[in-house]
Amino acid sequence: MLCITDARTGELVDAAPARRGLTRVEAHAPGYDASALRVLLVADILVRALELGGTPVWALLTGDREQAELHAGAAALGTRPFEDRRDVGPGWGEAQAVHVVGEGGAAPDGVRVAVAPVAPVAPVETEAIPEGADPAVVRLALLTARRGTPARLDEAALTEAHGTLLRWRRAVAAWARQASRPVPDEVRGRLRTAWEDDLDVPEVLRVLRWVEESELPEGARFETYVYADRLLGLDLARDVGSQP
């Protein structure tokens, strides 16, 4: 069962108390910048986690300005599509709602998931997605820290994320050449426990690093990475079939 910390009370609550009922995940981003994109990315991870648990989800974006830029930036980072709140009429009919907000930002009624900002770099970066950066690398860099900790998009963070993503994609492509094996129950349990415990994505990444260096059959490692990527959205199997 997916539990998240409600920023209003500081207590863990069920993200989908109605289980099979439609859940509205509403991301609140007042304008276009890296911190707003992180809010949308956390909302995307929440949507994916709920769907993996069998909960139908409706994703909305609420903001005051630069909505087109926010939608484009979110799409570049590989998020699921968000409907624009301004285009939605009354009569939603969802069983529950979860609001994903930046720290110190919007304070809507209902369960709130707070997201720390992206720390500025020197010189100050004017682009939400750093110029020339691979959006998938930016996505991984933003997923590396817990959502309550400020994220970094400086050169060191992007270089580390780039190296990890390149290594994992190459490994997945190599493992895919071996006979497929199921994800080990223990590993599947560790992954689900991580993301169902307040969306602990850094722990999911730690499990993948352990699998990478483990003695598990290559086919099982391949299936593990593909399974985890349903949450992470890093296109880890992109290079399958491209290596001799």
Output 242 or 174, whichever has higher pLDDT.
174
Q: HEC states along 140-199?
A: HHHHCCCCCCCEECCHHHHHHHHHHHHHHHHHHHHHCCCCCCCCCHHHHHHHHHHHHECC
| Three-state DSSP class for residue 123 | coil
151 and 71 in one domain?
no
222 and 168 in one domain?
yes
Residue 98 falls inside a structural domain? yes
In the chain, % helix, strand, coil (3-state, to 5) comes to: 40, 15, 40
Domain boundary at 115, 140, 162, which?
A: 115
Other C-beta atoms closer than 10 Å to the C-beta of 76 total: 16
Tokens of 72: 């484009």
Residue 14 falls inside a structural domain? yes
Residue 83 falls inside a structural domain? yes
Supply the DSSP symbol for 82. -
Cα 24 from Cα 96, distance rounded (Å): 6
Domains in the chain: how many in total?
2
- pTM greater than 0.85: yes
Residue 35 falls inside a structural domain? yes
Give the pLDDT band (50/70/90) at residue 17. Answer: confident
167 and 89 in one domain?
no
- Candidate from 11-25, 30-44, 65-79 with smallest mean pLDDT: 11-25
Domain that holds residue 77: 3-115
Compute the mean pLDDT over every residue in the chain, rounded to the nearest whole number.
90
